[in-house]
Amino acid sequence: MRHTISCLVRNQTGVIAKVVDVFSRLKVNINSLAVAETRDTSVSRMTIVVEGSEEVVSLAESECRNLDVMVRLDDLLSEEFFARELLLVKVRFDADSITRIMQVAELFKARVIGLGETTITLELCDDQKAVDAMLKLVAPLGIVSIARTGQVAVRMGDAE
């Protein structure tokens, strides 16, 4: 089962290693990890996406809650939340393919952020499903490189 875990952690050296070590010891693969400071620069939000059994992921969450760097940990599995991922994709183009690339960009509301002699770089910020769908459409045109962030997530509504 896929879990999106949102943590508030103390912003200090080694915090990522401590959290990742818990999942590693329990043999839970991290699919996505994104970390950045919050409005309080002493605290960072860490969004971790993992797939695993309820039992093992719950154990990992419990161990993470006991870490000295953990301020708060929420598994968003049973909650509604907003999730986004940033994609930068560089696609090869020629006179025959540029129209198709621009149609795909327009369909997903992606932005053109770079244009070379033979490549075009697109930026998309959306949920994972949209990012995957756009990549599927541009893949036959010739992807040169892909950079995507990990998923970031926050609960819907007024809760932090």
**CATH number assigned to the domain comprising residue 127:** 3.30.70.1150
Q: Are residues 137 and 106 in the same domain?
A: yes
Q: Are residues 6 and 67 in the same domain?
A: yes
CA quadruple 47, 48, 54, 58: dihedral sign = negative
Q: Are residues 65 and 111 in the same domain?
A: no
Residue 159 falls inside a structural domain: no
Q: Which residues pair with 95 in a beta bridge?
A: none
Q: Are residues 66 and 123 in the same domain?
A: no
Q: Are residues 70 and 98 in the same domain?
A: no
pLDDT tens string 68-79: 999 999 999 888
Residue 160 falls inside a structural domain: no
Q: Are residues 72 and 97 in the same domain?
A: no
31: its two tokens: 């699919």
Residue 158 falls inside a structural domain: no
Q: Are residues 41 and 99 in the same domain?
A: no
Mean pLDDT by 10 residues, the chain (160 residues): 95 96 96 95 96 94 97 91 96 95 97 97 97 97 96 87
Q: Are residues 133 and 92 in the same domain?
A: yes
Residue 145 falls inside a structural domain: yes
Q: Are residues 148 and 97 in the same domain?
A: yes
Q: What's the rounded Cα separation, in Å, for the pair 107 and 114?
A: 18
Cα distances (Å, whole numbers) of residue 31 to 25, 28, 73, 116, 126: 16, 9, 18, 32, 17
Give 3-state DSSP helix, strand, coil % of the chain, rounded to 5. 30, 40, 25
**CATH number assigned to the domain comprising residue 10:** 3.30.70.260
pLDDT tens string 38-82: 999 999 999 999 999 999 999 999 999 999 999 999 999 888 999
Domain end marker among 78, 102, 136: 78
Q: What's the rounded Cα separation, in Å, for the pair 47 and 18?
A: 14
- The per-residue pLDDT for 142 is 95
What is the Cβ-side half-sphere exposure of residue 25, based on CA atoms within 13 angstroms? 11
Number of domain units in the chain: 2
Look at the pTM and tell me if it is higher than 0.95.
Answer: no
Q: Are residues 91 and 115 in the same domain?
A: yes
- The per-residue pLDDT for 160 is 72
**Helix (H), strand (E) at residue 113:** strand 111-115
Residue 37 falls inside a structural domain: yes
56: its two tokens: 């093992």
Q: What's the rounded Cα separation, in Å, for the pair 15 and 44?
A: 10
Q: Which domain holds residue 14?
A: 2-78
